Structure 1
Amino acid sequence: MQTVTEQGLQELKEQLLRYEGLSLTAYKCTQGKLTIGIGRNLIDKGISLEEAHYLLNNDIAETLAQVNSRIAIFTIINEPRKLVLLDMAFNLGVAGLCKFKNMIAALERQDYQKAADEMLDSRWARQVGQRAQDLARKMVEG
């Protein structure tokens, strides 16, 4: 089997970047395939399990930093409740989570039942069903 030198690989990367372009968001290529990055065909190739976990780890780190900076009570509540907020933020986006003002106010009062009730009294809860039920239970139980 023939190998390619590091220099050759670098030249190939530069060439592919020049011809394929770089997009950090998904787009349809000239063949109508959903594509991202430097020519990654998401329809035919998708991503590997390792890549999915890499992306997840990055997304969790970003979500954690945003929730930590935008919701003051986050640093004080216990870990199970932090995980509830992070799960919600991952699903809704941090801006969406911040719209749960009554839930956050209940957390600040340490009224976990009321926080759970506020979670369940939402369009989000109706959309995600069992997920909301599970997270509300974890909010109460801590």
Structure 2
Amino acid sequence: MNNEDWILASDDELLASIEKHEGNKAAIYAQLRDGRLKAAKNCDAQYCMNNNTWPAYIDSEGLDTVGIGHLITGNEPYDCYAGVSDQDVMMQLSQDVEQHLGSAKKLTRQYGMNIGGNYVVQRFMTELCFNIGHGGYSKFKNGLRKLTAAVNRTGEYTYSHAADEHLDSKWARQVHQRARNMVNTLRALDDI
């Protein structure tokens, strides 16, 4: 099983998809202004907007978040509530993607996926780990089993079966279009 041929944390397609789904600074500002996002308790969002920094906000799970989908842990080398610079956000994004890429690799080993060189599935799994964490994604047992069968071409399940299984989840009901966009990348693999 060749699992050495993996995308890098700097993969342009992966980063573009994460930013598209998590939002960039302008999108976060717009969502704060129109009430779709709420600023975190200790963050002055207007101050951040006036100073062109990234404000801390509350995500759909009620967790304090900053930058491009980074859950605030308190271990950051900067004050997340005072407004975060573009440079710090990009550094944190790089670290987060590296962490979630590692989580995706761990899941592929756990399920015996022959995923080396399958960059579409690698991006899908890494972004899903980014979105809901390793622990969250590891609960998708049927989805991961069907994805493994599709990746390993056992004939038991197709990528569309795996996509359907991933859509039958709390995650998909919460993120709607993001889930559909992501699973459609899997479905397209059935035509290859």
Q: TM-score, normalised by structure 1?
A: 0.68
Question: Aligned to 2:74, which of 23, 26, 35?
Answer: 26
Matching residue of 2:168:
121
1:32-51 matches, within 5 Å, as 37=77, 40-44=78-82, 46-51=83-88
Equivalent residues in 2 for 1:1-142, closer than 5 Å: 25-26=73-74, 37=77, 40-44=78-82, 46-72=83-109, 73=113, 75-76=115-116, 78-110=118-150, 111-142=158-189
Change (3 A) 1:94 1:41: closer
- Distance in 2 (alpha carbons) for counterparts of 1:106 and 1:77: 19
Query: Number of residues paired by the alignment?
Result: 108
Which structure has the bigger radius of gyration? 1
- Asked if 2 retains the 8 angstrom alpha-carbon contact of 1:68 and 1:74, the reply is no
* AA of the residue aligned to 2:133: G
Distance 2:182 2:117 in 1: 15
SS at match of 1:97: helix
Identity level (%): 30
- TM-score, normalisation: structure 2: 0.51
C-alpha root-mean-square deviation of aligned residues, in Å?
A: 2.1
Give unpaired runs (5+ residues) of structure 2. Answer: 1-71, 151-157
